[in-house]
Amino acid sequence: SAAEKGGWSSFMAKEVSEEPEAVANTVRGRVHDGQVVIPELEGLDDLFTGIRRIIVVACGTAAYAGQTGKYALEQWTRIPTDVELAHEFRYRDPVIGEDTLVVSISQSGETMDTLMAVKYAREQGAKTLSICNTQGATIPRESDAVVYTHAGPEVAVASTKAFVAQITALYLLGLHVARLRGSLDADAAAQAVAELEAVPEKIQLVLENEQQHIEQFSRWMADTQSVLFLGRHVGYPIALEGALKLKEISYIHAEGFAAGELKHGPIALVEPGQPVFVIVPSPRHSGELHKKVVSNIQEIRARGARVIVVAEEGDAAVLPFADEVLRIPLADPLFEPLLAVVPLHIFAMGLSTAKGLDVDKPRNLAKSVTVE
């Protein structure tokens, strides 16, 4: 009903507006004296001490949250981390054992593909930890440990606030494990905690500054047949998530690519008028990633692409080659994905609405898929 939507036109619109709280509520109670201590993991240090490998299993948007979290998990804990779709993992006879921590991510906690992967991991002797948004759901009950996301109930089929909460939970997990293993120096850990705590306010700024602008240009894109998304490093899974959201609720062909892969194939798709979203890494990112992505933008622009960039405040290098510039506040590179995804969620909603579709209930999809 309209009351349940709290004055918003859809549950999805309401839930995107709740992304700041989803992050804040997930962090709450888990930071003590500038350090991450997750109360649910108290007494479970054994889960992390003998670990040589982390495998994240999930489906859909949750898998992209996993791919995003991988960079921070590895950087902070120095434990090799892989992310795999739960249904692929389960059926390929993976090499796992008691030195493996399998982290599942599921908003509902009931996705059958993910549940089967967790059960399989346990049978093989691996340790299992669930990141879940639903208290007492099946997947956390079948796991050795659980870290709940506190995004609140998510009603729209396409996941939004749960996604940012899932990345937040992975970051908290990374900082918790890094503290136990002493793999991150105290200053860097404190800095990461401060960055995480600053995220909700920054998401709020993106919502306030960009919502109208995005809704406006999604209207003239209502007839678009296909949209491409490019990103690099942590921006890569965000490109994948942006494309998935568009497929889910606007029924438009959309694909996300690693920007570095452009020249190895996808650039052949670019013809005049093709809309391409580019998630631009901060110029403060190591490895000159910013320059490389700016040169990707020049390449697609030269072929007539309609370029929509998501770039940090003050990044002027993108201006000459962009048709639209969506700004996100400054953040440490690992925290950019939590900001960069917000305009993509708004865009998918805007386009779906412009096409006259039901944003909350896309055809053929279920909120939670309880069959394999």
Residues recognised as catalytic: 367
Q: Of 59 and 184, which CB lies nearer to ligand G6P in the complex structure?
A: 59
Is the CB of 66 or the CB of 343 nearer to ligand G6P?
Answer: 66
Which tokens sit at 90? 């389960």
Positions that interact with ligand G6P (CB under 6 A): 59-62, 106-108, 111, 114, 157-159, 365, 367-369
Nearer to ligand G6P, 116 or 322 (CB): 116
Whichever of 248 and 315 has its CB closer to ligand G6P, that residue is 248
Length of the chain: 372
Is there a contact between 121 and 96 (Cβ–Cβ < 8 Å)? yes
Provide CB contacts within 8 A for 372, sequence distance 6+. Answer: 87, 112, 113, 116
* Rg of the Cα atoms in the chain: 20
- Closest by alpha carbon to 131, among 145, 121, 117? 145
Taking CB atoms, the residue at the shortest distance from ligand G6P is 60
Q: From the centroid of its chain, how far is CA 64?
A: 5
Q: Would you report the helix, strand and coil content of the chain in percent, each value rounded to 5?
A: 50, 15, 35
To ligand G6P, the closest distance from the beta carbon of 103 in angstroms equals: 13
Q: How far is the CB of 108 from ligand G6P (least distance, A)?
A: 3
- Shortest spacing between CB 13 and ligand G6P, in angstroms: 16
Sequence-distant (6+) residues with CB within 8 A of 300 are: 230, 262, 267, 270, 274, 276, 278, 307
Helices (H), the chain: 11-17, 19-27, 46-49, 61-77, 86-90, 112-123, 138-141, 161-181, 186-220, 235-250, 289-302, 336-354
- Smallest separation (angstroms) from ligand G6P to the CB of 63: 8
Q: Considering the complex, state which of residue 35 and residue 368 has its C-beta at the smaller distance from ligand G6P.
A: 368
**In Å, how far are 91, 125, 143, 235, 286 from 121, measured between CA atoms?**
11, 7, 10, 29, 36
- CA 312 to the chain's CA centroid: 18
Nearer to ligand G6P, 76 or 120 (CB): 120
What minimum distance in Å lies between the beta carbon of 60 and ligand G6P? 3
**What contacts 223, CB < 8 A, 6 or more positions away?**
none
226-231/145-148 β-pairing = unpaired
**Nearest distance from C-beta of residue 105 to ligand G6P, angstroms:** 7
Taking the complex as a whole, the smallest distance from the CB of residue 118 to ligand G6P amounts, in Å, to 11
Phi, psi angle pair for 84, to nearest 5°? -140, 145
Residue closer to ligand G6P by CB (options 106, 282) is 106
